[in-house]
Amino acid sequence: MRPSDTVGNTPLLKISDKLYAKFEVFNPSGSIKDRIATYIINNAEQKKLLKKGDTIVEATSGNTGIAIAFIAAERGYKVKIVMPKNMSEERKQMIRLFGGEIIDVEDGDFDRAIALRDELSAKHGWFNTNQFFNPLNIECHEKTTGVEILRQTENIGKISAMILGTGTGGTMMGIRKTLIKEYPKMKVIACEPAESPVMSGGEHGTHGIQGIGDGGKFLVDLKVLDEILLITTEEAKERAKKLIKEKGIFVGFSSGANVLAAERWIQKNNPEGIVVTVLSDRAERYLSLF
Ligand code: PMP
């Protein structure tokens, strides 16, 4: 068995009576992004678009970069990761440890990171996993994360809502596709950084909830969202700290944002069924920022 064969099939944690969360830190490189990295790379290998020694290029806030660098180390690819300078040092160290090379762009500038990735891919013929626009990103969560949640909640209760922040939007749109077939009345709620409320119609700004609020809607179909909740970086960080100290759930800031948004929504709406969210990554990659 290879490390990448252990991706997915993560546990579903009970956070409170009505709130359940996919514990994605169980993936081998520590985040939900192992799912799309393996899915897209496996697909490219099957289509013979990738062979040993080739170079993969991607733009990322870090976790996709870590995930791709991990699989590349396992399978013998080279990796170039384009990312904004203000992403955590731990993320950069992990990418480098797996053998990836980092190309910096200015703080929070995902548009530039994506444009530079495309230029580099075209110029050098590097394989572009294209996470922000790749339908395989959605398909992966539809066929894996969403299906797992359906199975894991079967004996717990009906799902009233799913609530989570979006980066590429792949997690949100993929899980939704699976769950909405079983629960057509399910509410779909996004959360985004209050400092950069782009999907709510506000201005793009820098924020510290790495992994979500990348400055665009990307794969998110805004028409399917029932609500968008705003969470500040400080609130997300404090909620993550409390999950760690009071529950032993060692997760990063976007997980804090997801849990807080879900708790606020549950408090206000008192749903009949349960609410699901995800705990996207492990807290180690934020130690310098807590
Ligand atoms: N949280 C974290 C920590 C992430 O790294 C990401 C991925 N950028 C997300 C949430 C959002 O996932 P997605 O790209 O599928 O919207």
Q: What is the pLDDT of residues 65-94, one digit of tens each?
A: 999 999 999 999 999 999 999 988 999 999
**What are the CB-based long-range contacts (under 8 Å, 24+) for 47-54?**
49/127, 50/77, 50/127, 52/76, 52/77, 53/77, 53/78, 54/78, 54/126, 54/127
Per residue in 29-56, pLDDT (tens digit) is 999 999 999 999 999 999 999 999 999 9
d(CA 43, CA 62): 22
**Ligand 1 centroid vs 214 CA: distance in angstroms?**
9
Q: Name the DSSP letter for residue 282.
A: B
Q: Are 198 and 163 in contact (CB under 8 A)?
A: no
Closest CA to 167 of 248, 113, 122, 240: 113
Predicted pLDDT of residue 227:
98
CA dist 194 and 205 (Å) reads 9
What is the pLDDT, as a whole number, of residue 261?
A: 98
Predicted pLDDT at 30: 97
- Mean of the pLDDT values across residues 140-164? 98
- Distance, CA of 131 to CA of 137 (rounded, Å): 6
How many whole angstroms separate alpha carbon 282 and alpha carbon 210? 12
Domains of the chain: 3-26+141-289 (3.40.50.1100), 34-131 (3.40.50.1100)
Average pLDDT, the chain: 97
| pLDDT higher than 90, residue 108 | no
Indicate which residue's Cα is closest to atom 10 of ligand 1.
Answer: 211
**280 is annotated as an active-site residue:** no
Annotated active-site residue 4? The verdict is: no
List Cα–Cα distances, 122 to 39, 64, 109, 117, 118, in angstroms: 22, 20, 20, 9, 6
The residues lining ligand 1, judged by C-beta closer than 6 Å to any ligand atom, are: 31, 33, 61, 63, 165-172, 211-212, 252, 254, 280-281
Q: How confident is the model at residue 230 (pLDDT cuts 50, 70, 90)?
A: very high
Residue 87, pLDDT score: 87
The per-residue pLDDT for 82 is 97
CA separation (Å) from 242 to 198, 231, 288?
Answer: 27, 16, 17
| Closest residue by CA, ligand 1 atom 11 | 167
In this predicted structure, the answer to whether residue 61 has a pLDDT above a threshold of 90 is no
CA of 211 to the centre of ligand 1 (A): 4
Ligand 1, closest atom to CA 166? 16
- How many Å lie between the centroid of ligand 1 and the Cα of residue 279? 10
Instruction: Tell me which residue of 290, 229, 284 sits closest to 259, measured CA to CA.
Output: 229
Residue type, 221: D
